[in-house]
Amino acid sequence: MKFIDYTKIYVKAGDGGRGCVSFRREKYVPKGGPDGGDGGRGGHAIFEASKELNTLLDFRYKKEYRAERGQHGMGKKMHGRDGKDLLIQVPVGTLIKDAVSDEVLADLDAEGAKAVIAKGGRGGQGNSHFATPTRQVPRFAQPGEEGEERQLVLELKLLADVGLIGMPNAGKSTLISVISAARPKIADYPFTTLVPNLGVVKPEDHVSFVVADIPGLIEGAHRGVGLGFQFLRHVERTSMLLHLVDISDNDEGDPVEILKRINRELELYSAELLEKEQIVIGTKLDAAVEKKRLNALMRYCKKEGMVFFSLSAVTGQGVKKMLSFVATKVEEQRG
Protein backbone atom coordinates (compact mmCIF):
# COMPACT_ATOMS: atom_id res chain seq x y z
CA MET A 1 0.00 0.00 0.00
CA LYS A 2 1.33 3.43 -0.92
CA PHE A 3 1.99 5.67 2.07
CA ILE A 4 0.37 9.10 1.73
CA ASP A 5 0.63 11.54 4.64
CA TYR A 6 -0.48 14.84 3.08
CA THR A 7 -3.41 15.77 0.87
CA LYS A 8 -6.01 18.47 0.19
CA ILE A 9 -9.76 17.90 -0.08
CA TYR A 10 -13.01 19.86 -0.34
CA VAL A 11 -15.83 19.28 2.15
CA LYS A 12 -19.39 20.64 1.95
CA ALA A 13 -21.96 20.21 4.71
CA GLY A 14 -25.60 19.77 3.71
CA ASP A 15 -27.82 22.79 3.08
CA GLY A 16 -30.89 23.22 5.25
CA GLY A 17 -34.30 22.45 3.73
CA ARG A 18 -36.71 25.25 2.82
CA GLY A 19 -39.63 26.08 5.05
CA CYS A 20 -43.00 25.33 3.50
CA VAL A 21 -45.74 27.79 2.51
CA SER A 22 -49.00 25.93 3.06
CA PHE A 23 -52.55 26.50 4.32
CA ARG A 24 -54.97 24.07 5.90
CA ARG A 25 -57.42 22.62 3.45
CA GLU A 26 -60.05 20.64 5.32
CA LYS A 27 -63.67 20.08 4.55
CA TYR A 28 -65.96 22.36 6.52
CA VAL A 29 -62.97 24.35 7.85
CA PRO A 30 -62.90 27.65 5.97
CA LYS A 31 -59.74 29.72 6.05
CA GLY A 32 -57.82 27.11 7.97
CA GLY A 33 -54.74 29.26 8.32
CA PRO A 34 -51.03 28.64 7.63
CA ASP A 35 -49.61 25.20 8.40
CA GLY A 36 -46.28 25.12 6.58
CA GLY A 37 -43.65 22.99 8.32
CA ASP A 38 -39.95 23.68 8.85
CA GLY A 39 -37.13 22.38 6.68
CA GLY A 40 -34.69 19.83 8.04
CA ARG A 41 -31.10 20.56 9.07
CA GLY A 42 -28.38 19.75 6.59
CA GLY A 43 -25.98 16.96 7.46
CA HIS A 44 -22.72 17.77 9.25
CA ALA A 45 -19.33 16.69 7.88
CA ILE A 46 -17.70 14.75 10.71
CA PHE A 47 -14.20 13.30 10.79
CA GLU A 48 -13.35 10.26 12.92
CA ALA A 49 -9.98 8.69 13.71
CA SER A 50 -9.75 4.96 13.00
CA LYS A 51 -6.94 2.45 13.57
CA GLU A 52 -8.21 0.55 10.54
CA LEU A 53 -6.48 3.15 8.34
CA ASN A 54 -2.78 3.96 8.22
CA THR A 55 -2.51 6.21 5.16
CA LEU A 56 -4.40 9.06 3.47
CA LEU A 57 -4.25 7.23 0.15
CA ASP A 58 -8.04 7.18 -0.39
CA PHE A 59 -8.14 10.97 -0.31
CA ARG A 60 -5.76 11.14 -3.26
CA TYR A 61 -8.46 9.67 -5.50
CA LYS A 62 -11.58 11.24 -4.02
CA LYS A 63 -11.18 14.96 -3.41
CA GLU A 64 -14.76 16.12 -2.83
CA TYR A 65 -17.11 15.16 0.00
CA ARG A 66 -20.70 16.40 0.41
CA ALA A 67 -23.15 15.72 3.21
CA GLU A 68 -26.86 15.24 2.51
CA ARG A 69 -29.09 18.31 2.44
CA GLY A 70 -32.12 18.65 4.71
CA GLN A 71 -35.57 17.82 3.38
CA HIS A 72 -37.93 20.69 2.67
CA GLY A 73 -40.80 21.36 5.06
CA MET A 74 -44.30 20.13 4.17
CA GLY A 75 -47.91 21.02 4.85
CA LYS A 76 -49.76 20.08 8.02
CA LYS A 77 -46.75 21.45 9.93
CA MET A 78 -44.67 18.44 8.93
CA HIS A 79 -40.95 18.93 9.61
CA GLY A 80 -38.54 17.97 6.85
CA ARG A 81 -36.12 15.15 7.62
CA ASP A 82 -32.63 16.18 8.70
CA GLY A 83 -29.87 15.35 6.24
CA LYS A 84 -27.63 12.41 7.14
CA ASP A 85 -24.32 13.37 8.68
CA LEU A 86 -21.31 12.50 6.55
CA LEU A 87 -18.77 10.46 8.56
CA ILE A 88 -15.27 10.56 7.08
CA GLN A 89 -12.74 8.21 8.63
CA VAL A 90 -9.06 9.11 8.75
CA PRO A 91 -6.00 7.45 10.32
CA VAL A 92 -5.23 8.08 13.97
CA GLY A 93 -2.80 10.99 14.13
CA THR A 94 -4.44 13.08 11.39
CA LEU A 95 -4.24 16.85 11.70
CA ILE A 96 -7.03 18.76 9.91
CA LYS A 97 -6.33 22.33 8.82
CA ASP A 98 -8.24 25.00 6.92
CA ALA A 99 -6.36 25.29 3.63
CA VAL A 100 -7.10 29.03 3.34
CA SER A 101 -6.33 30.29 6.86
CA ASP A 102 -4.01 27.44 7.92
CA GLU A 103 -6.04 27.23 11.16
CA VAL A 104 -5.87 23.86 12.90
CA LEU A 105 -9.47 22.62 13.10
CA ALA A 106 -8.86 19.25 14.75
CA ASP A 107 -6.08 16.94 15.88
CA LEU A 108 -7.44 13.39 15.88
CA ASP A 109 -4.73 11.67 17.88
CA ALA A 110 -6.78 8.91 19.53
CA GLU A 111 -8.90 6.01 18.29
CA GLY A 112 -12.54 7.07 17.95
CA ALA A 113 -11.83 10.81 18.28
CA LYS A 114 -14.38 12.85 16.33
CA ALA A 115 -14.70 16.45 15.15
CA VAL A 116 -17.45 18.30 13.30
CA ILE A 117 -15.46 20.13 10.63
CA ALA A 118 -18.34 21.60 8.59
CA LYS A 119 -21.76 22.24 10.13
CA GLY A 120 -24.95 21.60 8.22
CA GLY A 121 -27.22 24.54 7.43
CA ARG A 122 -30.26 25.18 9.63
CA GLY A 123 -33.63 24.42 8.07
CA GLY A 124 -35.90 27.34 7.21
CA GLN A 125 -39.11 27.99 9.18
CA GLY A 126 -42.45 27.37 7.54
CA ASN A 127 -45.11 30.06 7.17
CA SER A 128 -46.94 28.78 10.27
CA HIS A 129 -44.32 30.63 12.36
CA PHE A 130 -45.11 34.01 10.83
CA ALA A 131 -48.85 34.29 11.47
CA THR A 132 -49.83 37.24 13.66
CA PRO A 133 -53.15 38.93 14.46
CA THR A 134 -52.35 41.54 11.82
CA ARG A 135 -50.77 39.11 9.31
CA GLN A 136 -52.98 36.05 9.29
CA VAL A 137 -52.08 34.82 5.80
CA PRO A 138 -48.26 34.85 5.51
CA ARG A 139 -47.36 33.72 2.02
CA PHE A 140 -43.66 33.31 2.67
CA ALA A 141 -41.27 31.01 4.52
CA GLN A 142 -37.57 31.00 5.25
CA PRO A 143 -35.09 29.41 2.87
CA GLY A 144 -32.72 26.91 4.42
CA GLU A 145 -29.24 28.09 5.39
CA GLU A 146 -26.31 26.91 3.33
CA GLY A 147 -24.05 24.32 4.90
CA GLU A 148 -20.45 25.23 5.63
CA GLU A 149 -17.88 24.42 2.99
CA ARG A 150 -14.14 24.18 3.50
CA GLN A 151 -10.96 23.49 1.61
CA LEU A 152 -9.00 21.25 3.95
CA VAL A 153 -5.45 20.07 4.37
CA LEU A 154 -5.06 16.63 5.95
CA GLU A 155 -1.68 15.85 7.51
CA LEU A 156 -0.90 12.46 8.97
CA LYS A 157 1.64 12.52 11.79
CA LEU A 158 2.72 9.09 12.97
CA LEU A 159 2.26 8.34 16.65
CA ALA A 160 5.52 6.99 18.03
CA ASP A 161 7.45 7.24 21.30
CA VAL A 162 10.84 7.42 19.65
CA GLY A 163 11.94 8.84 16.29
CA LEU A 164 15.07 7.70 14.45
CA ILE A 165 16.71 10.57 12.57
CA GLY A 166 19.94 11.00 10.69
CA MET A 167 21.52 11.35 7.29
CA PRO A 168 20.69 8.83 4.54
CA ASN A 169 22.54 5.55 5.09
CA ALA A 170 23.12 6.31 8.79
CA GLY A 171 21.73 2.85 9.59
CA LYS A 172 18.19 3.72 10.70
CA SER A 173 16.46 1.03 8.65
CA THR A 174 18.93 -1.63 9.72
CA LEU A 175 18.50 -0.74 13.37
CA ILE A 176 14.70 -0.77 13.32
CA SER A 177 14.73 -4.11 11.50
CA VAL A 178 16.92 -5.56 14.28
CA ILE A 179 15.04 -4.19 17.30
CA SER A 180 11.49 -4.74 15.97
CA ALA A 181 9.47 -6.76 13.49
CA ALA A 182 9.50 -3.93 10.95
CA ARG A 183 11.04 -4.91 7.63
CA PRO A 184 12.00 -1.75 5.74
CA LYS A 185 13.85 -1.83 2.44
CA ILE A 186 17.61 -1.78 3.06
CA ALA A 187 20.26 -1.04 0.44
CA ASP A 188 23.68 0.58 0.12
CA TYR A 189 22.57 3.88 -1.41
CA PRO A 190 20.97 7.12 -0.13
CA PHE A 191 17.20 7.39 0.36
CA THR A 192 16.59 3.66 0.61
CA THR A 193 13.68 4.52 2.90
CA LEU A 194 11.04 6.43 0.96
CA VAL A 195 8.29 6.25 3.59
CA PRO A 196 8.35 6.26 7.41
CA ASN A 197 8.39 2.84 9.06
CA LEU A 198 6.91 1.99 12.44
CA GLY A 199 8.17 -0.78 14.67
CA VAL A 200 7.14 -2.02 18.13
CA VAL A 201 10.11 -2.66 20.41
CA LYS A 202 9.86 -4.90 23.50
CA PRO A 203 13.11 -4.80 25.51
CA GLU A 204 13.66 -7.35 28.23
CA ASP A 205 12.12 -6.33 31.59
CA HIS A 206 10.67 -3.13 30.12
CA VAL A 207 7.39 -1.96 28.58
CA SER A 208 7.10 -1.96 24.81
CA PHE A 209 7.35 1.27 22.85
CA VAL A 210 6.91 2.39 19.24
CA VAL A 211 9.81 3.56 17.08
CA ALA A 212 9.44 5.54 13.84
CA ASP A 213 12.18 5.35 11.22
CA ILE A 214 12.07 8.79 9.56
CA PRO A 215 13.46 8.91 5.99
CA GLY A 216 16.91 10.46 5.67
CA LEU A 217 17.32 14.17 6.16
CA ILE A 218 19.83 16.30 4.30
CA GLU A 219 20.84 19.94 4.42
CA GLY A 220 17.96 22.09 3.19
CA ALA A 221 15.32 19.56 4.26
CA HIS A 222 13.23 22.29 5.95
CA ARG A 223 12.91 23.96 2.51
CA GLY A 224 11.84 20.75 0.81
CA VAL A 225 15.25 19.48 -0.33
CA GLY A 226 15.47 15.69 -0.48
CA LEU A 227 12.81 13.75 1.40
CA GLY A 228 13.13 15.39 4.81
CA PHE A 229 10.51 18.11 4.45
CA GLN A 230 7.85 15.53 3.61
CA PHE A 231 8.48 13.61 6.81
CA LEU A 232 9.73 16.10 9.39
CA ARG A 233 6.13 16.41 10.58
CA HIS A 234 6.32 12.87 11.95
CA VAL A 235 9.13 13.86 14.32
CA GLU A 236 6.80 16.34 16.06
CA ARG A 237 4.73 13.58 17.70
CA THR A 238 7.65 11.68 19.22
CA SER A 239 8.76 12.26 22.80
CA MET A 240 12.40 11.33 22.16
CA LEU A 241 14.82 11.36 19.22
CA LEU A 242 17.59 8.88 18.50
CA HIS A 243 20.09 10.71 16.30
CA LEU A 244 22.08 8.14 14.33
CA VAL A 245 25.51 9.09 12.97
CA ASP A 246 27.71 6.81 10.84
CA ILE A 247 31.08 6.39 12.60
CA SER A 248 32.50 3.74 10.26
CA ASP A 249 35.78 4.20 8.41
CA ASN A 250 33.83 4.06 5.14
CA ASP A 251 32.21 7.47 5.77
CA GLU A 252 34.54 10.41 5.12
CA GLY A 253 32.36 13.19 6.56
CA ASP A 254 32.99 14.86 9.91
CA PRO A 255 30.56 13.14 12.32
CA VAL A 256 30.31 16.21 14.56
CA GLU A 257 29.46 18.47 11.63
CA ILE A 258 26.89 15.92 10.41
CA LEU A 259 25.24 15.95 13.84
CA LYS A 260 25.14 19.76 13.87
CA ARG A 261 23.82 19.93 10.31
CA ILE A 262 20.79 17.72 11.00
CA ASN A 263 20.02 19.55 14.23
CA ARG A 264 20.07 22.83 12.31
CA GLU A 265 17.44 21.41 9.96
CA LEU A 266 15.28 20.41 12.92
CA GLU A 267 15.58 23.89 14.40
CA LEU A 268 14.77 25.63 11.10
CA TYR A 269 11.67 23.46 10.70
CA SER A 270 10.50 23.93 14.29
CA ALA A 271 12.52 25.18 17.25
CA GLU A 272 10.44 22.93 19.52
CA LEU A 273 12.06 19.84 18.00
CA LEU A 274 15.40 20.66 19.61
CA GLU A 275 13.68 20.75 23.00
CA LYS A 276 12.94 17.03 22.75
CA GLU A 277 15.26 14.64 24.53
CA GLN A 278 17.90 13.54 22.06
CA ILE A 279 20.25 10.57 22.30
CA VAL A 280 23.18 10.39 19.90
CA ILE A 281 24.05 6.95 18.55
CA GLY A 282 27.21 6.15 16.65
CA THR A 283 26.31 3.38 14.19
CA LYS A 284 28.27 0.78 12.22
CA LEU A 285 30.71 0.23 15.09
CA ASP A 286 31.82 -3.05 13.47
CA ALA A 287 33.31 -1.03 10.59
CA ALA A 288 35.03 1.55 12.82
CA VAL A 289 38.51 0.05 12.98
CA GLU A 290 40.55 3.22 13.49
CA LYS A 291 38.01 4.73 15.93
CA LYS A 292 38.94 8.31 14.93
CA ARG A 293 35.41 9.31 13.97
CA LEU A 294 33.97 7.48 16.99
CA ASN A 295 36.28 9.29 19.41
CA ALA A 296 35.61 12.70 17.84
CA LEU A 297 31.85 12.27 18.18
CA MET A 298 32.16 10.87 21.70
CA ARG A 299 34.25 13.85 22.84
CA TYR A 300 31.80 16.34 21.36
CA CYS A 301 28.79 14.70 23.02
CA LYS A 302 30.57 14.63 26.39
CA LYS A 303 31.44 18.32 26.02
CA GLU A 304 27.83 19.22 25.14
CA GLY A 305 26.33 16.99 27.84
CA MET A 306 24.58 14.75 25.29
CA VAL A 307 23.91 11.07 25.98
CA PHE A 308 25.96 8.93 23.60
CA PHE A 309 25.94 5.25 22.63
CA SER A 310 27.88 3.38 19.98
CA LEU A 311 26.61 0.16 18.48
CA SER A 312 26.52 -2.20 15.56
CA ALA A 313 23.08 -3.29 14.42
CA VAL A 314 24.73 -5.99 12.28
CA THR A 315 26.62 -7.73 15.11
CA GLY A 316 24.32 -6.61 17.92
CA GLN A 317 27.15 -4.98 19.88
CA GLY A 318 25.78 -2.24 22.16
CA VAL A 319 22.17 -2.62 21.02
CA LYS A 320 20.77 -4.18 24.20
CA LYS A 321 22.39 -1.55 26.44
CA MET A 322 21.01 1.28 24.31
CA LEU A 323 17.49 -0.21 24.23
CA SER A 324 17.41 -0.62 28.00
CA PHE A 325 18.34 3.03 28.48
CA VAL A 326 15.77 4.25 25.93
CA ALA A 327 13.02 2.07 27.42
CA THR A 328 13.72 3.52 30.88
CA LYS A 329 13.44 7.04 29.49
CA VAL A 330 10.15 6.19 27.75
CA GLU A 331 8.76 4.80 31.00
CA GLU A 332 9.77 7.98 32.84
CA GLN A 333 8.09 10.20 30.26
CA ARG A 334 4.91 8.14 30.35
CA GLY A 335 4.84 8.61 34.12
Query: Looking at the structure, do residues 322 and 207 belong to the same domain, yes or no?
Result: yes
What does DSSP say about strands 209-213 and 197-201: parallel, antiparallel, or unpaired? antiparallel
Are 120 and 13 contained in the same domain?
A: yes
Sign of the dihedral defined by the CA atoms of residues 254, 247, 211, 278, in that order: negative
Which of 109, 132, 156 represents a domain boundary (last residue)? 156
Residues 178, 79 share a domain: no
**CA 96 from centre of chain:** 8
Q: How far is 240 from 137, CA to CA, in rounded Å?
A: 71
| CATH at residue 73 | 2.70.210.12
Domain identity same for 104 and 20: yes
Report the distance separating Cα 315 and Cα 288, nearest Å: 13
Domain count of the fold of the chain: 2
What is the domain extent for residue 14?
Answer: 6-156
Q: 91 and 68, same structural domain?
A: yes
Instruction: Tell me: do 22 and 135 sit in the same domain.
Output: yes
3-state SS class at 278? strand
Query: Same domain, yes or no, for 62 and 81?
Result: yes
* Same domain, residue pair 10 and 68: yes
Residue 71 lies in a domain: yes
* 169, 74: one domain: no
Lateral strand order in the sheet of 277-283: 197-201, 209-213, 162-166, 240-246, 277-283, 307-310
pLDDT in tens, 66-123: 999 999 999 999 999 999 999 999 999 999 999 999 999 999 999 999 999 999 999 9
Long-range (24+ apart) CB contacts under 8 A made by 229-232 are 229/269, 230/5, 230/6, 231/5, 231/196, 232/265, 232/266, 232/269, 232/270, 232/273
Q: Is 1 contained in some domain?
A: no
> Does residue 235 sit in the same domain as residue 194?
yes
The pLDDT tens digits for 193-237 are: 456 777 889 888 888 898 988 775 644 444 444 444 556 777 888
